[in-house]
Structure formats: C-alpha cells, structure tokens
Amino acid sequence: MLPEPFLCMKRVFNFSAGPAALPDEVLRTAAEEMLDWHGSGMGVMEMSHRGPEFISICDQAFSDLRELLAVPADYDILFLQGGGIGENAIVPMNLIGRLAEQGRQPAADYVVSGSWSVKSFKEARKYGDIRVVASNETEGFTAFPDPAGWKLNDDSAYVHVCTNETIHGIECHVPPEVGQKDGRVLVADVSSHILSRPMNISRFGAVYGGAQKNIGPAGVTIVIVRKDLLGHALPITPSAFDWKIVSEFGSMYNTPPTYAIYVAGLAFQWIKRQGGLAAIEQRNVAKAKLLYDFIDGSDFYLNNVEKGSRSRMNIPFFLADESRNKDFLGGAKARGMVQLKGHKSVGGMRASIYNAMPLEGVQALVDYMREFERKS
C-alpha cells in the first residue's frame, strides 16, 4: 500500500511532448510494486532479464501490444534501445541491404514533413542513396505532403514517412499507398501517436517509435517489422541492432531496458481497461476538437497547420501578441498546467495531449486561455 502523502499528492496537468505524462493508475501500480513485484521480494529493476519473473513480464507486454494493434502473425515485435533517433540509422542498415544483395544500389525514398523526418533523412544518407521524394518545407511545414505529388523511385527499398510530427503538429491520418514495385514497402516513424488510435499494420513493412509519448518512460524503442524483411542487414550493422538477431533472441540479445518494458506493459494493460484503441481514439478526438475549436474561434490564438493535417497529439499555437508569452506560461503554471512552451525551433506554445491527458486537463487549458484572452 502506498503511503498517505503519496496518495494525497497533487498532480499537475503535464502537457510535455516527451517524456510525457503517464496514467496515474500506471504510476501507482509501479510505485506499489517498486520493492516487491508479485511477492518475488524483488523490484523489477533488480531482476535478471533471463529469470522467469521478468520473462513473464516481457511475454505479457509482447502479447498485449500485439493484441492492441492487431499485429498480423507474419510481423515480429521487437523491443530495442536508442529511441526513434537511433532507428533513423537502424532502419536503413536493416532494410536497404536486400538491394545490395541483388547487386543493386542501396536506395530509399523519404518524405519530409517536419523536423523529425528531416533528421531521419539526414541520418539515412550515411548508408545509401537516399532521396527526398516530397517535402513541405518551403510551405513552412504546415501540411502533410499530398501523396498524389510524391515522386517515388522504382529502385527504392522503402518509402519512409513520419506519421506525426511532434514539433510542427502535423499528422498523417491515413497511411498512403506506395505500391509494391520491386518489393518496395512503407516504413513509418510512429513515435508520437502510436497507440492513440487503431492502425492497419499490414499497410507497412515496418513501424518504429520511442516509448516516451503514449507508452512509457524513455528507454525502450518498439519496432514492428514484417518477418520477410529480416535478415538483410548491411554488414556494418552492429549485432545488437540487427533486427534478425534481435528477433532470434526474443529482444534479449543484450540486456533489454527491463524497467521501461515493465512500465510499457502496465500502460498496455491500462489501455485495454479503457476499452482498447477504438475507445482511446474517441477520447483523443474529443480532446483535440475541444482545443482546436477554441483556437479557431479566437482572434487571440493561432494554429498554422491546415485542418486536414492537424495532429491530435501535439497542438502548437501562438499568441497574437507574443510579448505576452512569458505571462501566459507563468499563469498556466500557477494554475497547475506545465510544459506548454513550444519547441525552441518554432517558438510559441504547444499542448501535447497524449492518451494520459484527461479531457479535464484540456478543458482546464481552454478555460485558462479564455481567461487570459479576456484579461489581455
């Protein structure tokens, strides 16, 4: 049982883009089990990753994630380390090698839709012929590039997209078709909206994401990859990042981030108790609509993203009078709302409203924004 001071502790509404807020239930369970997991006399951080206790935790996490996302049987789920940025290198090292095996130039196509896909493209260029086939940079990253205008190459191993741009607040709501020319597949960085909605995993060759948005603490990276794409890593690929080796060892080729996997597993179970991803999506739609409708109805606040590309998870906005930014943030903090400052590269404000953010938190923000506007 948790001590009384912990139970009475006041929690803020945390709008951080990541590491982000976790559900209170998840944190309470983790706290209760910190010293003794299920009568084992050990905390999860102390367990051998090869012992039966942690193996059961990991197996349950794999099973629950597969169930939540309806991952087909011909796909593997991997738990790795290095975050989404690490996968910017690990993805090309694992996926362009099959072209080299055929005596072809290792090549891939990248769609640039914001800061994170720019990072992905720049990193991938170290490993092959990487081409930008669509970009919205000249428009200021205000809409996801229309797939009708993508200039795909027939010789690419894969087409890479970031389906939710955390900094610019852009979301790809429907995975595009990229054809199957010479085995070409769609690959997505889904870090900041995975588990916020149902996903048709079969539309992708692979998806990946860091856990620290909708899943758990930083430290574990999730990769879901079609099994026939395994086994083609470039010779330079470190063994710990060769997806085939990681798969063969059940994500335990090296010591995995055990505690992060454990907390992620608690989050999977929490999502199931909420009714699964269909119910979670309904809540996320309602939260995003509440905030966007208020912004659109105000002359004091502005969101620059085209409506069809707006993210449900990350909502950037600007004050008409940006000299008031510091006052706005100070007032929000005084009312128990934190981490609203926009990314340093774009400025303004940003409200990240992942799964753990309740509707009450978004309502509190809207009420404060209305009050601040009235008093300005």
Closest CA to 56 of 37, 75, 41, 74: 37
Beta bridge partners of 351: 315
Structure-block tokens of residue 135 = 């970009």
E strands of the chain, at which residues?
A: 13-14, 75-80, 107-112, 129-135, 158-162, 164-165, 170-171, 185-189, 206-210, 221-226, 301-302, 314-319, 337-338, 349-352
Instruction: Reply yes or no on whether 213 is catalytic.
Output: yes
Between CA 147 and CA 57 the distance in angstroms is: 40
Task: Please tell me which residue in 64, 189, 243, 244 is annotated as part of the active site.
Answer: 189
The one-letter amino acid at 95: L
Q: How wide is the angle at C-alpha 208 spanned by C-alphas 249 and 187, nearest 5°?
A: 115
Residue 341 appears among annotated catalytic residues: no
Q: Is residue 207 within 8 Å of residue 201, measured between CB atoms?
A: yes
Question: What type of residue sits at position 283?
Answer: R
pTM of the predicted structure, to 2 decimals: 0.95
| pLDDT per position as a tens digit, 52-84 | 999 999 999 999 999 999 999 999 999 999 999
Among 63-67, 105-109, 207-211, the least confident range? 105-109
φ, ψ (nearest 5 deg) of residue 7: -65, -30
Rounded distance between C-alpha atoms, residue 215 and residue 19, angstroms: 10
Mean pLDDT (the chain) is 94
Q: Give the pLDDT confidence score for residue 8 in this predicted structure.
A: 54
Per-residue pLDDT reduced to its tens digit, 319-371: 999 999 999 999 999 999 999 999 998 999 999 999 999 999 999 999 999 99
User: What is the rounded average pLDDT of the residues 245-259?
Assistant: 96
Catalytic residue among 37, 76, 109, 213: 213
Q: Is 153 exposed, middle or buried (0-12, 13-18, 19+ CB in 10 A)?
A: middle
Does residue 189 carry a catalytic annotation?
Answer: yes
Catalytic hit among 37, 116, 243, 270: 116
